[in-house]
Amino acid sequence: MKDRPTDKGRRDVLKQAGRLAVLGATAQLAPSLLAIPGVSAQAGGGRGAGPAPAPRGTQLVLLGTQGGPSVNLGRSEAAYALTVDGRSYLVDCGYGTLRALVASGIAYQQLATIFVTHLHDDHTADLAALLTHQWTGSRSEPTDVYGPHGTAAMVAGALAFFKANADIRIVDEGRTVRPEALFHGHDLAATAAPAEAFKDQRVTVTSVENAHYPERSRQQMPYRSIAYRFDTPGRSIVISGDTAYSKNLIELAKGADLFVCEVMDLTIYETMMARAKADTDNGNANSISRHVAETHSTTADVGRMAAEARVKTVVLAHLLPGSNRPGLAEFPDTAYIEDVRKNFSGEVIVGRDQMVL
């Protein structure tokens, strides 16, 4: 079935409405406004034109929809921003996230809560950049980073990375707050059954271990990969993280309004499996091709999981190939949608950077 024009039109309307809601009334600052003393577009998208009324409700912005470690100009690496009644939460922080936040109008300076699905670099590469710019931008409130085993150590590593920056500016600019007083990493348990990971007045976050790391790898390392569910007063949104078909994820996603799931086109899967077989024949059983083929979800897997969880809408993100096809055109949306719909009859949306849902 073709991606109906009405779907696209509706998405465009949703996108515009959502963007305006996220941005408040000052989405675009005219150059003339920037000349007024005290009005600035700098420091984390702080728009400076007076406080906009906090938008109500829940919006999800797809900040980065490229699958895998790939720096390209079409899509950023994985990241999502959930905004609930004007407060934003970041999920994953792949390369390009900081610029994507600025583009979306979400003030990165204000982000206090960050969730990481796993510690592959296409989900974390901008974390040190984000935290150090929060500090240099004079953030004075804590920022907490939650994720599976290794997250606390990664945040400590980010602090080590920008220690010199802090030392210089403390001497040079009279700053008094040390970064280690603000930035904290927290390791979450990776559980088979949904377990509460975080809760405040706006959102309850639940997580499970997904199926990104095969058993043979899990046995040799403490690292785990998790999926998150965000329940707000109005909506339920699940972010799959990177995963192959996962019963745990299906349980987490039961009845969700939005199921944001990673996806790999079937042709990529077939190519990778063929390469993995050739690698195995050559004595390399743990090749990158095997990793890609076995640890991600095909369009068929996504459709099965969405149907079994009875979600309302599937949003495809972490796209493989996405824009990582040098010299070739973008993969057509219809190729992804048709294959997911073989198993799932609900709405399917192919994610793009800056899409607001």
Residue 333 near Zn ion by CB under 5 A? no
CB of 47 to Zn ion, least distance (A): 32
Q: Which of residues 122-181 bind Zn ion (CB under 5 A)?
A: 122
Decide whether 126 or 242 has the Cβ nearer to Zn ion.
Answer: 242
CB 192 within 8 A of CB 248: yes
CB of 120 to Zn ion, least distance (A): 4
Decide whether 43 or 223 has the Cβ nearer to Zn ion.
Answer: 223
CA distance 80 to 22: 14
Q: Provide the token pair at 204.
A: 């309850």
Length of the chain: 357
Of the candidate spans 108-116, 239-247, 296-304, 328-336, the one that interacts with Zn ion by CB under 5 A turns out to be 239-247
Residue 224 near Zn ion by CB under 5 A? no
Which secondary-structure segment (H or E) carries 19? helix 5-23
Q: How far is CA 162 from CA 17, 101, 129, 136, 318, in A?
A: 38, 21, 9, 10, 29
DSSP assignment letter at 203:
-
**What is the x/- site pattern for Zn ion, positions 102-131, by CB under 5 A?**
------------------x-x---------
Decide whether 242 or 301 has the Cβ nearer to Zn ion.
Answer: 242
CB 22 within 8 A of CB 83: yes
Decide whether 135 or 228 has the Cβ nearer to Zn ion.
Answer: 228
Decide whether 203 or 244 has the Cβ nearer to Zn ion.
Answer: 244
Residue 242 near Zn ion by CB under 5 A? yes
CA distance 216 to 291: 12
CB of 257 to Zn ion, least distance (A): 24
Q: Provide the token pair at 187.
A: 């390791």
Residues forming contacts to Zn ion in the complex (CB under 5 A) are 120, 122, 242
